[in-house]
Structure 1
């Protein structure tokens, strides 16, 4: 239980603000000092039932509403994005620290520009053949092959031949921004 309680304060603050109440409003009605409520919200004061009950009653919520739900739907329902013909399907929730995507590279006549950005990328070829240009290297990865590289090295990827290449790609936050938001 201890770990889940860490989220209680921030959730309480978010609900109070969403309802348009000030710290003073809620503290007065819950029969506690404003500083106690403030410390409860910032996590400096351990959340206990006797502190939470009058506050949740005033906000019209249940204590359960402050605890993370274990029964959250685990499925990732984020739409795929298309950029320059490339389809990028997110496989992890948005708040995930490590971002995983299934990327489909369509056949191209001209090779894409080499790009550089902060971060790391790990990739695994699901189908087709992928040409990976990385600095001076020009490699062809086939189904079942994986690669990991520092994205500060100039790099570009494209399929080999007439069929698309499907790739599982994992980035840390920096690398991901580049791929999904372009170089804006």
Structure 2
């Protein structure tokens, strides 16, 4: 595993998981939200996002977390490993709200500079509808690349922890 993407609903734990995985594998992690959002919650153009990703995938190793469906094919094609965090909508909603409280008036390390934490009704609706609206197309994409990529779907905290422990074990064996 040298080129890894981590996808899933907002609040699924992508950024936290990616940071933990990066630490275990000694691979840099890039957060798409930090690349996409400019100060004041101004969106980058799709072309800017594509160009940023083309630059990233040319590196020798990386972890990229985030969905951005309009550019996901770029990352899937370049990756050797795809990890889908398929968590319940209740967990995702809880985490989004918890993060809002924890990072009130501050900026998370996985977000764009000048983009303090916020939650609005449209975003909550997006999180709630993610399993119905977004998950099936993601799983279809993964089914198409399952034979050429390492694909992992992690649905519980125990699966996430076991995966991270197994990766740590693999990293130790390589040393």
Q: Same fold (TM over 0.5)?
A: no
Higher helix share: 2
TM value normalised by structure 1: 0.22
Higher strand share: 1
Structure with bigger gyration radius: 1
